[in-house]
Amino acid sequence: MLCVKETFLYLSDNLKLTTQALSDKATPTDELEDMHQRMISSSLLAMATLIDILLGVKLQNCDVDSTSTEKRSLSKVRSTTLSSAEAAFCMHKCFLDVLKSKSAVIRSATYSLLTSYIKHVPHVFDEETMKKLSPTILGAFHEKDVSCHSSMWDTILVFSRKFPEAWSYCNIHKVVLSRFWNFLQNGCYGSKQISYPHLVQFLDSIPPKAVMGQQFVFDFLHNLWDGRNQRQLSAADSLAFCIAFKHIFLWLLENVSRYSGEDSSDDTPIKLITDILAKIVWRDYLLLSGDTAGSGVQSSHKNSGSVVNTQYPMYYLQDLEKCIVEILDVIADTEHHLLNISCELLVRDCLDIIQQGEKLSKFQDHVEQLVSFFLSLDQLVVHKGKTWPLERLARPLVAQSLPAIMFVDTPSLVKLLSVLVEIFGPVPLFLKNYQNYHGKSDVKSYLELFNADLLPWCFNGKYSTCNSKIDLLLSLFQDECFFDQWCSIIKYTRAEQKHSIDDKTSNIKNRLELLTLLLQKVRERIAGGKLRNLQKNGYLPEHWRHDLLDATATSVLCDLTAANHHVSFLCAALGGSDQEDQICFLSAETVHKVLGSIVKDLASALLASTFEWARLAYSLLLPSEPEHLKLPEENSLQINFETALFAFKVLQGSFFSLGRLEEDSVFPSILASLFVIEWECSMSLAIDDESDSEGHIKGMDVGSSMSRSSKDYLDEKMHLKGNLAESIHAFCQSLSPSFWNNLPSFTLNRLANILAQSVRYSVFQTRDLHVEKTAVLCSEWVVQMLKLICLDDINLQSFFDLLLSEGEYWPLWLKPCLQNGHASVKVQLEPAITDDIELKHERFVAFVDRLILNLGFGEVILGVPGSLRCATSQSIDITSPMSSLSRAWVAGEILCTWTWKGGSALETFLPSLVQYMKEESCLEVSIVSLLLDTLLGGTLMHESGPWVLFNAWHLSDNEIGKIQDRFLRALVALLFTTNTKNCLWRESDALVFFEQLLSNLFKGSTVNIKCLKVLPFVMSTIIKPLPQKLNEDSPYGDLVRKSILSWLEAAISCLSSSPREVPVQDIEDWMQVALSCFPLSITGGAQRLVVRVEREISDAEISLMLTLFQKYQFFYNGAASSLSTSETVITRTVELLGVKLTAVMVGYCWTKLQENDWHFVFRMVFKCIESSALLVEEMTDGINDAVINQVSSEDALEKLKLMVSTTDKLTLSLAESSLVTLCHLKHLGNLQEVETAKSLQLIRSGDYAESINKMVESILRLFLASGVSEAIAKSFGEEASSIIGSSRHAYLHFWELVASFINNASPEIRRSALESMELWGLTKGSVSGLYSILFSPQPIFHLQFAAFSLLLSEPFCQLSLLKDSSLGENCSSSQRSDISQSAELMPDSEKTLCLRDELSALVEFPTSELLKTDLTERDRVDVFIAWALLLSHLQSLPSSSIIREHVLQYIQEKDHCME
């Protein structure tokens, strides 16, 4: 080793340096101080390290076999190191100066250096040095810096062991012990985890002569105890203290002789037990230090250090508990007499606590500590097989304290006793002379004690101790006498119950509650395997079954009081509160009795219902009840609900136990009753007002008068019912899907059967709710029920089959049947329908429709579950008698019903069918084909109306609804929805249907007239989606093309030159068929109305059509002169067919028409339009006469209704078809096609153009006349105006066509029409009529737009804004033209803006009132239109116009008022 000496010299020199020596002007002072401390401490540690390595580790590792050279080298190193160390020790005066440094880092390093000197250079510590160092080292306990304590303890322990004589060189009591006591009292100044483990070593290092007598021992322990809670006691500090205290206490007991003087008696061990362990440690653990309730619990030592009301952390008490137990366990192994003393003292304190009871402020805490102590004893000692805890502690404690425990009777003491019994067993604990098990004698003695003392006490204590006593009672069970004990308990309970009933006391509740609590705890312990005292008997549920327990349950079930504790007892005995609870203490026979009672009590709530269907459902739940429909008396209704609630609570608490009897037929009725009760309550809550409910009460056949008002009675009833239903709903929702899936098939089938019948009853028998509300409510029931119980496919279809099965009120038109073993549908020709049947049928149809909306068409009608449709669809055979398609009759029945409150076939049902057809690809054709076949058959059994009145060119839902025959209407609607609107038909299916249709057209060689009348309706709906040319190479197209040609030929053959040769009916029928094959499409609305052909026709068809048109012209001209007056209607029908034929010819064959054909076309169209204009004008004239000649307003209203109802519909139909033709003619007039120049030139020629203008003028006259009619009727009021306005809604398409021509009329035509109206001289003018249409209470937006446009156009705009007091609305044109100029020349003072009344009334509508209305309400819309009209007028006026300025000023004033 090189440079040893130099290194020591360097380090020694470092120790001499001061802060000033390290001075650097650029370095701050605080940094210099830190540098100096680090340099000194590092030098000290380096010196210590050199000594440890060179004098300790290095030399010890020297190989004894080293060569002599190596040995000489190592010897030289040792010599150099020792000399250097000695020199440094002397130079720095034993390092006392640095040991007194203010820096903890330097002091800690000095302690480490001194430790190295003591270990490796001990010879430097001579007597003189000892005198200097002993007080410093042994008195180092005044060191308060925790960072120094580890090295400090090393130095003290090494110094004390190395130089025991050093203790004689210092004042032990003054220098060492006083500082040491302070050190302990202050919790080692925060180094508990460092210092406490060194205390035993420190005691062992003190020479016996240095400290003599007991005082040191007790001072040491007291000071140590006092310092345990100083500063913050962490969990680690607590553990370190308790471990150290245990080792110190046991070490002192073992080495007590070291501190005994020659005159001392040997009582130190006993004092350690009595004064330390018992009075301080044990009492501190029991939290007795701060309790001042009695003298027996006061700590007597002045230095106990206990703090009153100190809240110890739980980990401290646990550590202390373990410390006490381990000390006692060690004493038990070595010092039996000390164990006896210890246990006696512990038992004495326990008895003192028990006897004083709740006089102690912390009584509960004291007992809890005792419980915890014995549990710790059980874990640490008893489990090892040691018996001293029983013999020395538990048994003496129980023997002496049992009377006091039974007298004080607190839950904590009962728990203590229960814990002791569980740990040590009841027989060893209670039998004083018990040493080993003596068989029957011990059992008999214990059983006598149990029956005589323990059982009565457990069942007759305070209510607050019941729970703890039941725990104790369970722990008192013993294997050998289990059945005797259980029998005694039940007998005792029944005896108390009978005694209480006889004496009419309240103890019955307490006894039954205790038995209930016992059963609950038994269940918990069996399930958790916690019956440690029962290994042979009592660990299985069947061990607890007893006839007396069954009898108790039966008696409780029959008790009419139905208290809550009865429910709790039955639930505790039955078990089954959840699916995991498989423990039942009753026999199967008793469980069956409980089920029967529950279903009867639940169903009793339905007897109190005001709904007939609920009482019918009662008969389903209890079919054996003979008088199930008898209404209960009024005063029993409340009892019914309370009884039902009691039954439900029992069911809720034991549901899964009751359901285990798989073959029990009652359980499905119980499940069904839950749904039905909830449904009944939901329907009761849905009743709108109280008067309906009072009507129920008045209609009830009660046997006694009501003792309170109906309102209070109903409120209480609804409250009870609502509580029950709410509880049932929450319970049903809590059941998991696995429960329903695991139900036996018998239970599910029976449940579905009852619920389906109950729903049917509710739909048919409910009269107190509107049809729509009933449908919504009942469908929601079904949907929620199906979501809950999750029926499989088979059970689901069985449910729907039963729910939708035929009955007295359903169906009316179609019925399911079997034909040759296959599902079929039978048409009801003339069903007997009363008002009651019709109402109930409508209710059921509304319900089924709502059910389809909620669940889907596929699930309800086809039986295909939503989640499995695709997979299931492939496997359904429609030919099977059990096929789900056997419910296709339901769809047909709904279509035939057509409308019901809350829905209709077109609005709700057919969209559901279409939605399903769009999503699926397999079954839709089958169901539609079956429906079409059925509906066609029904249609052919009835007479159909004329197709000519059917607006097939503008086919809509409203138009289909006008068809009177329900089967034909359903057929057309189905074809229109699936084929025309959505194009969902496949050609193969269309071919099958068309062939079937043709097969019905002829009966042999005779035409089937019924089929012939149906044929045009069908063709109108199926012809449009066909390919535009029917000569394509397809079987369907070829068949249709050939059929059309044959029908055209038949129509031509009927049109003989002489009308008398062929019946007119044949002409009508065949022409209708022919015309239905050439559809027109009218699109674009009133603004851009366009007439288009729907398909391209072949040359053969064009040729036949031209022939038909020519034949008709001959026929028409001949018929006009030959038909008699009685045949006028027929003539008009044929005429209408001719008008329709004319429209078809203009649409399809206009390029082939000749001049004479065009002449016929214009003549027919003009005649029909003019006739309609005259018709409306006549009605206007009649309304005007009714105003002038009115007798009363009622008389005028009746006349208006009569005129509207007697309007000639055929005339308007003729005009409507003519307007279609005229619309197409105007379109052709605008074409620029070279190849058709001849036809176009003919149409545009003067005569025809003038004819078109006259027709447009007639249309405008018609429009103005209709408006004037409403204006005149408005003088009677809103109702009269609505009569006229609503009459237009029956001909919406006609008025749409009218509006399309109004918008495009030229100014000349408008002026001519206005002048014609002025010459008429009615009470209201044209402008008033336009305003009546614009602000009609029955608005039609096409007409409103037309009226709005006319009011802003010439010449109407001159009269539509202002009114003139001197000139009426019917002033001449010359007068009218001067109005504006006169207004301009008037002086400003005379100019007053007078808007027309119709306009000003709306413009000046109060803003506050307007804001209260919805955005789409009529008032707000009318005000918006009025302002739009006013602003449009303002924009059209010249900028220099005075009227414009006044209008602008008027608008600004109104705007200001609105702000």
pLDDT at 279 over 90: yes
Give the residue with greater pLDDT, 1033 vs 682: 682
Distance, in Å, from the CA atom of 45 to the CA atom of 115, rounded to the nearest integer, reads 11
DSSP 1362: B
pTM above 0.75, yes or no: no
Which amino acid does the sequence have at 413? L
Distance, in Å, from the CA atom of 312 to the CA atom of 812, rounded to the nearest integer, reads 85
pLDDT at 397 over 80: yes
Please state the rounded mean pLDDT for residues 160-189. Answer: 91
pLDDT in the model for residue 875: 38
Cβ neighbors of 385 (< 8 A, separation 6 or more) are none
Give the residue with greater pLDDT, 397 vs 1402: 397
Position 961 confidence tier, pLDDT thresholds 50, 70, 90: confident
Contact in structure between 773 and 686 (CB atoms under 8 Å): yes
- Tally of CB atoms within 10 A around 35: 14
Enter the tokens of residue 621: 């739940």
Alpha helices by DSSP H, 143-189? 146-162, 178-185
Position 628 confidence tier, pLDDT thresholds 50, 70, 90: very low
Q: Find which of 169-178, 282-291, 883-892 is predicted with most confidence, using mean pLDDT.
A: 169-178
Contact in structure between 1365 and 1383 (CB atoms under 8 Å): no
Distance, in Å, from the CA atom of 1290 to the CA atom of 949, rounded to the nearest integer, reads 13
Which residue(s) pair with 900 in the sheet? 903
Which stretch of 8-17, 287-296, 687-696 has the lowest confidence by average pLDDT? 687-696
**CA dist 394 to 378, 399, 449, 871, Å?**
11, 9, 18, 73
Question: Percentage of residues in the chain with pLDDT exceeding 70?
Answer: 82
DSSP string, 1252-1274: HHHHHHHHHHHHHHHHHHHHHHH
- Tally of CB atoms within 10 A around 1099: 8
- Tally of CB atoms within 10 A around 26: 4
| CA 429 to mean position of chain CA atoms | 57
Distance, in Å, from the CA atom of 675 to the CA atom of 680, rounded to the nearest integer, reads 9
Contact in structure between 226 and 305 (CB atoms under 8 Å): yes
Kindly tell me the sign of the dihedral angle through the C-alpha atoms of 329, 330, 333, 337: negative
Distance, in Å, from the CA atom of 85 to the CA atom of 586, rounded to the nearest integer, reads 92
Please state the rounded mean pLDDT for residues 1230-1254. Answer: 72
Contact in structure between 1288 and 1342 (CB atoms under 8 Å): no
- SS3 for 779-840 is HHHHHHHHHHHCCCHHHHHHHHHHHCCCCCCCCCCEEEEEECCEEEEEECCCCCCCHHHHHH
Distance, in Å, from the CA atom of 1350 to the CA atom of 1298, rounded to the nearest integer, reads 13
Please state the rounded mean pLDDT for residues 1258-1265. Answer: 92
pLDDT at 323 over 90: yes
pLDDT at 1325 over 80: yes
pLDDT in the model for residue 1032: 56
Overall size of the chain counted in residues? 1459
> What's the angle, vertex CA 1120, arms to CA 1119 and CA 1126, rounded to 5?
85
Distance, in Å, from the CA atom of 122 to the CA atom of 962, rounded to the nearest integer, reads 128
pLDDT in tens, 888-897: 889 999 999 9
**CA dist 413 to 293, 370, 511, 1193, 1442, Å?**
18, 10, 21, 96, 107
Helix (H/G/I), strand (E/B), else coil: 1006: strand
Distance, in Å, from the CA atom of 1339 to the CA atom of 1345, rounded to the nearest integer, reads 10
Please state the rounded mean pLDDT for residues 978-983. Answer: 78
pLDDT at 844 over 90: yes
Enter the tokens of residue 1374: 């010359």
Residue (of 778, 724, 771) closest to 756 by Cα position: 778
Position 629 confidence tier, pLDDT thresholds 50, 70, 90: very low
Helix (H/G/I), strand (E/B), else coil: 947: helix
Would you call 441 exposed, middle or buried from its count of C-beta atoms within 10 A (0-12, 13-18, 19+)?
Answer: exposed
Which amino acid does the sequence have at 1241? Q
Reading phi first (left if > 0) and then psi (alpha if -120 to 50, else beta), residue 103 is in: beta
Enter the tokens of residue 1437: 């006026």
Which residue(s) pair with 1454 in the sheet? none
Distance, in Å, from the CA atom of 970 to the CA atom of 1042, rounded to the nearest integer, reads 28
pLDDT in tens, 479-525: 778 888 888 888 888 775 554 433 433 433 467 777 888 888 887 77
Please state the rounded mean pLDDT for residues 204-217. Answer: 85
Enter the tokens of residue 992: 């099958």
Alpha helices by DSSP H, 1209-1338? 1209-1229, 1237-1243, 1246-1274, 1278-1289, 1292-1302, 1307-1320, 1326-1334
Containing 197, the helix (H) or strand (E) segment is none
Of all residues in the chain, what percent are helix, strand and coil, respectively (each to 5)? 70, 0, 25
pLDDT in tens, 535-594: 667 667 777 777 888 888 888 877 655 677 788 888 888 887 777 777 888 888 888 888
pLDDT in the model for residue 716: 66
Residue (of 590, 605, 754) closest to 658 by Cα position: 590
Please state the rounded mean pLDDT for residues 1212-1223. Answer: 90
Reading phi first (left if > 0) and then psi (alpha if -120 to 50, else beta), residue 308 is in: beta
Cβ neighbors of 568 (< 8 A, separation 6 or more) are 513, 516, 653
Which stretch of 593-597, 751-755, 871-875, 1426-1430 has the lowest confidence by average pLDDT? 871-875
Contact in structure between 118 and 43 (CB atoms under 8 Å): no
pLDDT in the model for residue 1367: 36
Distance, in Å, from the CA atom of 263 to the CA atom of 252, rounded to the nearest integer, reads 19
Distance, in Å, from the CA atom of 253 to the CA atom of 270, rounded to the nearest integer, reads 9
Q: Find which of 423-437, 667-681, 789-803 is predicted with most confidence, using mean pLDDT.
A: 667-681
Position 703 confidence tier, pLDDT thresholds 50, 70, 90: very low
Please state the rounded mean pLDDT for residues 1063-1068. Answer: 82
pLDDT in the model for residue 1390: 45
DSSP string, 703-724: SS--SS-HHHHHHHHHHHHHHH
Position 1129 confidence tier, pLDDT thresholds 50, 70, 90: very low
Which stretch of 392-406, 454-468, 731-745, 837-851 has the lowest confidence by average pLDDT? 454-468
pLDDT at 940 over 80: yes
Mean pLDDT value across the chain = 80
> What's the angle, vertex CA 362, arms to CA 357 and CA 366, rounded to 5?
75
- SS3 for 1087-1127 is CCCEEEECCCCCHHHHHHHHHHHHHHHHHHHHHHHHCCHHH
